[in-house]
Amino acid sequence: MKLSLTRRNVSLITLALLAVFFVSFNLFANLTFHSARLDLTENRLFTLSEGTRALLENIEEPVTLRFFYSESLATDYPRIRTYAGRVRDMLEEMQAVAGDELILEVIDPEPFTEEEDRAMSLGLKGAPTTEGEVIYFGLAGTNLVDGREAIPFFSDEREEYLEYDLIRMIQNLSEAEKPVLGVVTNLPLDTGAGGLLAAMKGQSVSFMIYEELRSRFDIEFLEQKFSRVPDRVDTLLIAHPRDLNETTEYAVDQFIVKGGKALIFIDPHSEVSLTAGPNGEPVRGYTEASNLPRLMDAWGVEMPADEIVSDRALAQRVQAGFDVRRQEVDYPLWLAIGPEQMDENDLVTADIDRLNLGTAGHLVKREGAETRLTPLVTSSKDSKLLDLEYVKSGPRPDELVRDFAPTDEAYILAARVDGVVSSAFPDGPPDPAGDEEAAREQTADAHVAKGTEEANLIIVADSDIFDDRFWVQTQSYLGERVAQPIADNAKFVLNAAENLLGADELISLRTRERSERPFLVVQDLRRKAEERFLEEEEALQAEIRAAEERLTQLQTRAGSELGGRDVLSQREAEEMRRIRHQLAESRSDLRQVQRNLRREIEVLGGQVRFINVALMPILVAFAALGVAWYRRRRRLKYSGR
């Protein structure tokens, strides 16, 4: 039988060969290039960072990771199935980089099996389904000794933190010992606003930043009265302490003079300390203000104790409970600080997107200081200083904005201080005053009047950075608290602590996180519209107040003379009618100003939506029509030859 190679037959054969080639190529690619990928995202979100590779290539102790995933039960849950694929891919990439030092086991814990019992014993939690089954989707890690870490269940709310969570677990397991962070604080970091009373009742909820620190460091709380910083402490965290006595100040002083590292948070007005607990009052023994004037003077820096930074450009938006027509207003005492106010050359702040602070103070370099002061975080130049007593009186947001007069100066909110420091106790240790332990410590350690090694300090003039309200939204998932950051407060604290320890690898992972990007142009236009609204509102309200006062005077006079009979002159009666008419018009104008503000903001939102949703497709359509018209012109031109 002879097959004629007509054009139709050639087309059919070609299609068949292409189909065979397509299937063969896909099978070959799946087997050969299983872990290969091309990351075309702007920030290379799916590529292992250099920090991850550096840590994986230098694992000190072999680590075993057991990835428990109920694959057969998750087929009806596409979100879990998709996220599980990404988790598994990243774990396999990490294993490929680490080699034999990282052992990965993938386990499908079927119901009522030893694998399911093992998952539960390792601290994993299953998610119940509507069919009565339990899906496991977590990770357990162990080392050769007795170290154990677990992610009970992967929540997609933390998907952007996946690489950081995984490599932090690996690093914690691969290190012989975690670095020790000595904490001196009067904040209830580990118990939350409820304090010890809530902890005793089992109702304490620790701050999320404390949980992040605890997962990375061994935390050692130092009482706020000690005579020596223990040798095992690698770095000090001093967070809004009470006034330290001389013995404790001397212990901190000698730790720093001898080259110690410290991360310090002080505050002229700590709102987190004033947070009401379950009984409606702040934690017993709270500290409203903190400062270390004697030590700071020796370090060449000071924080004015009665000045608060107010910044109109960086004001956070807060709920406007006093005006139902305006849901949110600018509050210049609470700052939302962006990258423009960060030191881009310092690893701690280079990629911080946003810090949320509240009623912050500012730092000033002392005249004649021998140390170097490098600003890490500053206010904008649209800022000014407010007296502490005025701030404590509780001014309304509109009052702060209306009376704002910027000084055109950027104030230092956080700074790095380094250099050789002299002791704040030049004459030697203070008198122990009968404290035998302090006397023994002072005798055992020789006094150092001036350091031989450079100290390294990071000082922040705010303590509200720790407050969950300012930077994170938490929710409970399978009995675990899941954090969804809206600002980078925890990233800043962890970056600073690890940078002082000289462990910068994890910093490069946290900087891959991205907070919500605000529409800065829209925010600026809205802020200007509100300023104009406040000016018009103030003028109209002044007119209304004046008219009401005059009307009250006339009505009082009319009712008090001659037994209450109206004895107003015709001119005064006419004035009263005119004032009532003016009041009605002014109130109408005020409502119109408020409507105009809302309308302007809605128009801005509509313009942004139009640009994002409709303008680009329209431009692409016009471009396509233009190309089609051009190609048609060319065809007509050449066909006419």
DSSP characters over 160-172: GGHHHHHHHHHHH
Domains of the chain plus CATH, in order, are: 23-176 (3.40.30.10), 178-305+360-378+408-517 (no CATH), 523-559+571-636 (no CATH)
> What is the Cα–Cα distance from 65 to 493, expressed in whole angstroms?
28
Is 225 within 8 Å of 247 (Cβ atoms)? yes
State the pLDDT at residue 174.
85
State the pLDDT at residue 509.
56
On the question of pLDDT at 252 being above 90, the answer is yes
On the question of pLDDT at 306 being above 90, the answer is yes
pLDDT confidence band for 249 (50 / 70 / 90): very high
State the pLDDT at residue 278.
64
Task: List all residues 6 or more positions away from 146 whose beta carbon is below 8 Å from its beta carbon.
Answer: none
Among 176-190, 281-295, 372-386, 574-588, which is the least confidently predicted range? Answer: 574-588
State the pLDDT at residue 78.
87
pLDDT confidence band for 242 (50 / 70 / 90): very high
State the pLDDT at residue 64.
94
Give 505 or 263, the one with higher predicted confidence.
263
State the pLDDT at residue 565.
46
On the question of pLDDT at 53 being above 80, the answer is yes
State the pLDDT at residue 511.
47
Q: What letter does residue 528 receive in the DSSP assignment?
A: H
**How far apart are the two ends of the chain, measured CA to CA in Å?**
48
pLDDT digits (tens, 9 = 90+) for 391-403: 999 898 888 888 7
pLDDT confidence band for 416 (50 / 70 / 90): very high
Write down the mean pLDDT value for the chain.
Answer: 81
Give 146: exposed, middle or buried? Use CB within 10 Å, 0-12, 13-18, 19+: exposed
Mapped onto helix, strand or coil, the DSSP state of residue 378 is strand
State the pLDDT at residue 513.
47
pTM here is: 0.68
On the question of pLDDT at 640 being above 70, the answer is no
**Region 495-507: what's the mean pLDDT?**
75
Cα dist. 393→325, 386, 387 in Å?
25, 12, 10
pLDDT digits (tens, 9 = 90+) for 570-623: 666 676 677 677 667 766 766 676 666 666 666 766 776 677 667 777 888 888
On the question of pLDDT at 158 being above 80, the answer is no
Give 250 or 328, the one with higher predicted confidence.
250
On the question of pLDDT at 436 being above 70, the answer is no
List phi, psi (to 5°) of 301.
-145, 155
pLDDT digits (tens, 9 = 90+) for 68-98: 999 988 888 888 998 999 899 999 999 989 9
pLDDT digits (tens, 9 = 90+) for 535-561: 666 666 666 677 667 667 766 665 555
Among 34-48, 150-164, 279-293, 309-323, which is the least confidently predicted range? Answer: 34-48
Mapped onto helix, strand or coil, the DSSP state of residue 276 is coil
On the question of pLDDT at 367 being above 70, the answer is yes
pLDDT confidence band for 180 (50 / 70 / 90): very high
**Region 226-251: what's the mean pLDDT?**
92
| Cα dihedral across residues 598, 600, 606, 612: positive or negative | negative
pLDDT confidence band for 223 (50 / 70 / 90): confident
**Region 248-267: what's the mean pLDDT?**
94
Phi-psi region of 564 (alpha: psi -120 to 50; beta: other; left: phi over 0): left
Is 135 within 8 Å of 143 (Cβ atoms)? no
Q: How many CA atoms lie within 13 A of 183 on its CB side?
A: 18
Q: What's the per-residue H, E or C state across 442-497?
A: HHHCCCCCECCCCEEEEEECCCHHHCHHHHEEEEEECCEEEEEECCCHHHHHHHHH
Query: Which amino acid, residue 557?
Result: R
pLDDT digits (tens, 9 = 90+) for 509-537: 554 544 444 555 556 656 666 666 666 66
Q: What percent of the chain has pLDDT over 90?
A: 33
Q: What is the largest CA-CA distance in the chain?
A: 131
Query: What is the C-alpha radius of gyration for the chain, rounded to an integer number of angstroms?
Result: 33
Most confident of 45-54, 268-277, 512-521: 268-277
Query: Which amino acid, residue 488?
Result: D
Select from 93, 121, 116, 102 the least CA-distant residue to 35. 93
pLDDT digits (tens, 9 = 90+) for 450-499: 988 888 999 999 999 999 999 988 777 666 677 778 899 998 999 899 88
Cα dist. 34→225, 242, 366 in Å?
59, 58, 60
